[in-house]
Chain A
Amino acid sequence: MHLDLTPQERLFREELRDWLAAHVPRETPPKDRFGIRAFDMAWQRIQYDGGWAGIAWPKEYGGRGLSLVEQVIWYEEAARADAPDARCAFVGLYHGGPTLIVNATEEQKAFHLPKILKGETVWCQGFSEPGAGSDLAGLSTRAEIDGDELVVTGSKIWTSYAQVADYQELLLRTDPQSRRHGGLSWVICDMRAPGVSVRPVPMSNGWDSHLNQVFYDEVRLPLANVVGEVGGGWKVAMSTLSFERGTAFTARQMQIAKWVDDLIERARTRTGPDGRPAFGDDEIGRRLARLRAETAALRAMTFAAVARNERRQQPGPDGSMLKIHLARLSKEANQIARRLMGVDALLMTDEMEEHLYGFAATVGGGTDEIQHNIVAERVLGLPKSY
């Protein structure tokens, strides 16, 4: 048990720090959908060209082939350097790509993985449906097999960045006789295929470039786009979710300590209505202290998970404990941030947009309720609960 970096890891960190200082974009990221895509893909390309994309991805697909320790160093340094969030690169980098690495054919991997790392393709997720949210196995989007093609009909929802995406992780029912977890397939959907249409879903904070509903009207996709077995989609989807819950938020876990440090600094300097620093408010001070301690614990939890994940192919159900803890701390930081806004909370500022988006922390990536079910059943061995 040790926290020391190897000479190689130390060198990695030093080089990374210098590189980030010179290359992190300093302009404010745009908020419109095409601006988001252009900005995020350009930043991804800069990382690729600098040799910093896909730290722990295999070399043959354009990655660095390094360990998860180096990957977590990358996230921590990126947070320290205020590097942009992955945003529309998130799905490809953090769970689409990792799912392909574990489950896809050579052809699929060779075609898609380098494009994700180079910032050439945007991926989105197609799991939730209007009628199947937490109950994912109740999904009804279906595909008929017609020769060497799938013909897809149905709808998906809560799809981040679908308007600007090239490909989608599409989970659908390929066996009409099947029920629940059987007869599903995990398919790479070309978002430009005829019959795919996207409708934005405006959010509580006014954003209309983020969430979408996607419709499929007899969309023809090659059968070769199925990842894993036809009818074996649930297993592949669980692999996707293990990455989404286990490692996709590592960047966020590394960012939150800096966020809380910034809140502490603001509480020290910003005055409340009584003219004293907000910090003098015992309740705010105590909450910040506990939150800072819990973010230290989250960071330690992240390193403990990295150590476990280095010893297995994909994260286990314990990843849901990280997700629950991260979401809880994010929401607490969000509440303290609102207290520090004072009467400016009456304005729809950038900060308020983020504040309202913060309520999604316990919904996106699997609701908090589902994460609790997973921990209860698969970590503690309790009976199934609905």
Chain B
Amino acid sequence: MDLHPTPEHDEIVESAAAYLASELPAARAPKLTEPSLTGGEWAGLAAMGWFSMGLPEADGGLGLGVVESALVAREFGRQLVPPQAVATMLAVQLAWRLGDRELTEALAAGAQRAALAAPVREAGPAGPSAHGYRLVDTHRADVAIGWSHGGAFLAPMDAFASRVVAPSLDAALEVCVADGLDRAQARWSAEPASSFLPQAQVLTAAVLVGGAEACRDLSAEYAKTRHQFSRPIGSFQAIAHPCADMAVACEAALSCLLYAAVCVRDGAPERDLYSASARSVAYHAAYGNAAASMQVHGGYGQTYEYLPHFYLKRAMIYGLVGGGVEADEAAVLQAASLT
């Protein structure tokens, strides 16, 4: 029993953090004029091996697992990397489970990109909803991935009926509204047989943890440098204590994430309890920290130029996909009564 990152884990985190800080730093978000990532930026992520890292070496992957993928996804969250990145990591996993070798390889190599699909009505046990969808981060996307507690699907973008670009919550991302889904074109993998859900819970929790941590760090930095009444505002408890609460929320969310990731990797009996808990705790940490960070930044926190609102919006996005955090919380109660 040792829930301490290994030197290899530290190395993965450091290399991801260094790459993203130099190539795709969060600070660029307010200045973006085109949604999502350019072809060159996307190729850079693929070249880092992050989309394929969860695949076995025999299938062209790095043979690394969900723990390492979660550590990278956490860095995506920290730097506001568009959702296509984690969606593509998940799509690789799902395509591989579906036995679609061609799609797995295309996604892993960065030749195809995945957007996130959120159905207006939840999927039934037999397949994805045929009704309306909201599709997130669709610019240059080739497929969309959606999942809930009943199962997960992958569908080409063309399978969504009357798809139109709509005003987006997060202007740095393109959103589409679709009337329905041609289910014949969708590939479905049912839970619990697929065991995709825990992966998706953990990787989205990881992005949320990264966001929560970024908001903590932005707030602490601002509290140290912004002066009012001739003192740094961090010397007032009205600012310092919410910052401390952000740190506590991060510590809880990160610990739960790592515990859950290890459970998913090992197929531990506590897996379902911890993967669902990790998503709930990470969502509330991310949303709560972003909201608190907007307050700590005062008037600047309400502007487009400052970053907290981007983290708030990403928390909303990741909290709404995958059947919504409410479904994970229902799953927590279900799993708790079984352990």
B:279-300 near A, CB below 8 Å: 280-281, 284
B252–A1 touching, CB < 8 Å = no
B244–A376 touching, CB < 8 Å = yes
Interface string of B235-261 (1 = CB under 8 A from A): 111011101110110011111101110
A303–B234 touching, CB < 8 Å = no
B255: contacting residue among A288, A292, A304, CB under 8 A: A304
A344 CB–B CB distance under 8 Å: no
CA distance A324 to B248 in the complex (A): 7
Residue in A4, A289, A324 whose Cβ sees the most chain B Cβ within 10 Å: A289
- Closest residue on chain A to residue B252 by CB atoms: A297
How many A-B residue contacts, CB cutoff 8 Å? 171
Residues of A within 8 A of B274 (CB): 296, 300
CA distance A377 to B326 in the complex (A): 35
A9–B1 touching, CB < 8 Å = yes
Which stretch (A87-95, A184-192, A378-386) binds chain B?
A378-386
A261 CB–B CB distance under 8 Å: yes
CA distance A264 to B330 in the complex (A): 12
Secondary structure dominating the interface of B? helix
Given A1-B9, A375-B247: A308 in contact with B240 (beta carbons within 8 A): no
A1: contacting residue among B4, B237, B239, B276, CB under 8 A: B4
A5 CB–B CB distance under 8 Å: yes
B255–A381 touching, CB < 8 Å = no
Interface string of B13-50 (1 = CB under 8 A from A): 00000000000000000000000000000000000000
Secondary structure dominating the interface of A? helix
Residue in A265, A300, A321, A369 whose Cβ sees the most chain B Cβ within 10 Å: A300
B329: contacting residue among A293, A301, A324, A373, CB under 8 A: A293
Residues of B within 8 A of A301 (CB): 251-252, 255-256
Q: How far is the CB of A94 from chain B (nearest CB, A)?
A: 21
Given A318-B251, A321-B248: A293 in contact with B243 (beta carbons within 8 A): no
A307–B3 touching, CB < 8 Å = yes
CA distance A292 to B274 in the complex (A): 10
8 A-B Cβ contacts within 8 A?
Answer: A268-B337, A293-B281, A296-B277, A296-B281, A298-B252, A307-B4, A382-B243, A383-B234
Given contacts A380-B243, A385-B234, 18 further A-B contacts (CB under 8 A): A2-B262, A2-B266, A261-B336, A289-B333, A290-B280, A290-B284, A293-B329, A300-B259, A300-B260, A303-B259, A304-B255, A307-B2, A308-B4, A318-B251, A369-B237, A371-B244, A382-B223, A382-B240
